[in-house]
Structure 1
Amino acid sequence: MIEYKKKLTIKDMAKALNVSTATISNAFNRPDQLSESLRLRIIEGCQRLGYEGPNAAARSLRTGVSGIVGVLLADSLSYCISDPVASQFLAGLADVLDQRQCNMLLLPGQEEQTSYKSRQMESMVDGYIIYGGLHPSKRFQRLLQQSKPIIAVDVDTTDFITVNIDNQEGAYRSARLALQHRPQKVAIISLRLTPVSSVSWATCDACYASPASVSRSRWLGYMQALQEYNYPLEQLSVVDVPVNTHRNACMAAFMLLSQEERPDVIICMSDRMALGALQVALQQHIAVPNDLKIVGFDGIAESQFTHPTLTTVQQYNELKGQMAGNMFLGLTPRQNVILPTDMLMGETCPEVMS
């Protein structure tokens, strides 16, 4: 028969190590309050006796603070972990939380079923960072009812404090660069501007009618540049993709490059889309940039490892994560932030030399 040992408490450890319960608690939760030698003596003593530290759930109930930040994602967990932009953002946020010995709880926004377990997890967090978009899910509605701090990142909203980039300006600059080459036929691969579940052709009217989002801001930037260059919008080809994956990007690019009147410029709302377009172009023996120019958006590392290298808009995703984390923890003022972008000049769309 297995013999179960009594679980050690903080009082047991205080007595065994001849210190107060507050000192034991500080060794685990507020190490800056103790000398390094005392903290190490307590941690080593606890490890030797098999004590893992104060109960986090009990501490949360007692203090009202758990040290856990909920991150509500617009997409699935698997997508956000594999997507280079989302993973860079999470890395920046984790960097700040690590320094403050806090944790993050990743929550997919599109919850299909409500369970006791999911409600229990949500109750543990000190507040939320919403990343990538707002979804009218049951989870989002519960989040609003909790009256906990909320910071939104890459979300076009006036309801919360936000950390964003200037998407419209970045998109405008990238489109203007491409249009300097005076193309005959322009195409755009857009993201989630129309309510479709598959890669589909889209009209300008449908894209304009899209609700406020990061993608719509980029669309407005593209339209601003096209109108400045007096490009006839009735000649514009647009393919909209529902999810930013390499497979969808290749499908969209194949549709565009299979037209009888093939585009000589493709403007993409993400680097994944641009890399997909580049792959399809090379497979069809289309010379880039001589016969086709491609611009992306994001500045992911992979964009500079291709041949030819990608011309794109550089955004600083880790910085966004760091700024959101610092703001959430009260280390910097909670106020709206719009970060600038830079053009990252590659070989797929060179600058026009005057």
Structure 2
Amino acid sequence: MAVTLRDVAALAGVSPRSVSNVVNDFRYVSPAMQAKVRAALDELDYKPNLLARGLRQGRTGTIALLLPEITVAYFSELAHEIVERASQLGITVMIDETSGAPNRELALLEVAMRSSWVDGVLLSTLGLNGAALAGVKSDVPVVLLGERTAKSALDHVGIDNVRASRDAVQHLIDSGRHRIAAIGGSHAPSDMTSRLRLKGYRAALRAAGLPTEDYLYARTPKYRRGDAAVAVRALLAHPEPPDALFCFSDELAIGSLRELYEQGLRVPSDISVVGFDDIEESRFTTPSLTSISPDKHQIASTALETLMARIAGSDLRPRALQVGYQLLARESSTRQ
């Protein structure tokens, strides 16, 4: 739980009002009092609740979270992290689904920005292009989750998709795979996530001197299990089928695992599979799924802290903030 002014006051042996005076740089505080309080602040690693400060200035304490598809496991898990962190800060989160459609994303964003019931918006966009985002101007702060499709006056929180994808493919290369296929991504110009993951995939292959033939990249309409099954069937029908699959999401990877089973192939003996997102389901597949694991907890915390700073009146330039990830090697890519 977040450290409160009362916690600091108890440790310092002073009143909460005295702590508040120090935190808010009230001029008439003795040096001795300041030293005592600041020592307690440091010891407890106190972070000021910027939103609570805003509430005293007439804020609602409510933010909007706009996601493409709530039923997609990655987005539901991210939403859970955001709601959990927000509740610790006394923030209420209103969630809506955009289906990744540009018109709906823009309409919901405009409704939120014109309303008086939210203080800020967290938006994960799949449909809005750079020009649309660049035109977003409002007194209600907006922070983007995922990819920043173009320069705009909006903060952005995500991971390094290119580097993460390179790590995933390099893992497959290191395990002895040579014909590595990629699955996922549409032709939509706003699908920046797929473009970056494809870039990392191809960069890893080039660095290793491995082929990047077009047939080894299978696009999918969405990041769904059924889409992966269709893609896998097409890849396996080629005269030189792949010996590894890098899937742009865990749901695609799980769909691939099922189709490979239907085709009589053993994972990882015959073919290896790596996913992306590390959803909970990936730990319980047979075999368990190797996956890139974005730090969802840190994405949620960083996005909320950034939004809170904007709500409190921060005048910083728009920032592109990256959080960490790790490759979790499991049974689907580790030969027994």
Name the TM-score, length of structure 1 as normaliser: 0.67
- Provide the C-alpha distance between the structure 2 equivalents of 1:155 and 1:113, rounded to a whole number of angstroms: 15
Equivalent in 326, 332, 336 of residue 348 of structure 1: 332
- Provide the C-alpha distance between the structure 2 equivalents of 1:264 and 1:174, rounded to a whole number of angstroms: 15
1:127, distance to aligned residue in structure 2 (A): 1.9
- Provide the C-alpha distance between the structure 2 equivalents of 1:310 and 1:64, rounded to a whole number of angstroms: 48
User: Which residue of structure 1 lines up, in the alignment, with residue 228 of structure 2?
Assistant: 249
- Provide the C-alpha distance between the structure 2 equivalents of 1:142 and 1:173, rounded to a whole number of angstroms: 31
1:182, distance to aligned residue in structure 2 (A): 4.1
**Counterparts of 1:56-205 in structure 2 under 5 Å?**
64-73=58-67, 75=68, 79-80=69-70, 82-109=71-98, 110=101, 111=103, 119=111, 122-123=114-115, 124-133=117-126, 135=128, 144-156=136-148, 157-159=150-152, 160-192=154-186, 194-195=187-188
Q: Tell me, what secondary structure is at the counterpart of 1:259?
A: coil
Matched to 1:217, the amino acid is L
Q: Tell me, what secondary structure is at the counterpart of 1:243?
A: coil
- Contact kept, 8 Å, 1:266 with 1:295, in 2: the verdict is yes
- Contact kept, 8 Å, 2:247 with 2:275, in 1: the verdict is yes
Matched to 2:236, the amino acid is L
1:300 to 1:101, Cα distance in 2 relative to 1, 3 A: same
- Provide the C-alpha distance between the structure 2 equivalents of 1:122 and 1:327, rounded to a whole number of angstroms: 20
- Provide the C-alpha distance between the structure 2 equivalents of 1:294 and 1:226, rounded to a whole number of angstroms: 16
- Provide the C-alpha distance between the structure 2 equivalents of 1:151 and 1:113, rounded to a whole number of angstroms: 14
Task: Tell me which moved more, 94-103 or 222-231.
Answer: 94-103
Identity of aligned residues (%): 23
Deviations 1:152-176 (A, max 9, x none): 1112243221111111111001101
Task: Count the aligned residue pairs.
Answer: 272
Q: Tell me, what secondary structure is at the counterpart of 1:144?
A: coil
User: Which residue of structure 2 lines up, in the alignment, with residue 295 of structure 1?
Assistant: 274
Deviations 1:244-286 (A, max 9, x none): 1122122222222233432111111111111111111111110
1:291, distance to aligned residue in structure 2 (A): 1.0
- Provide the C-alpha distance between the structure 2 equivalents of 1:144 and 1:219, rounded to a whole number of angstroms: 28
Higher Cα Rg: structure 1 or 2? 1
1:115, distance to aligned residue in structure 2 (A): 8.8
User: Which residue of structure 2 lines up, in the alignment, with residue 12 of structure 1?
Assistant: none
- Provide the C-alpha distance between the structure 2 equivalents of 1:120 and 1:299, rounded to a whole number of angstroms: 31
Matched to 1:151, the amino acid is V
- Provide the C-alpha distance between the structure 1 equivalents of 2:134 and 2:206, rounded to a whole number of angstroms: 43
1:219 to 1:351, Cα distance in 2 relative to 1, 3 A: farther
**Counterparts of 1:259-278 in structure 2 under 5 Å?**
259-278=238-257
1:113 to 1:342, Cα distance in 2 relative to 1, 3 A: closer
**How large is the Cα RMSD of the aligned pairs?**
3.4
Task: Tell me which moved more, 151-160 or 296-305.
Answer: 151-160
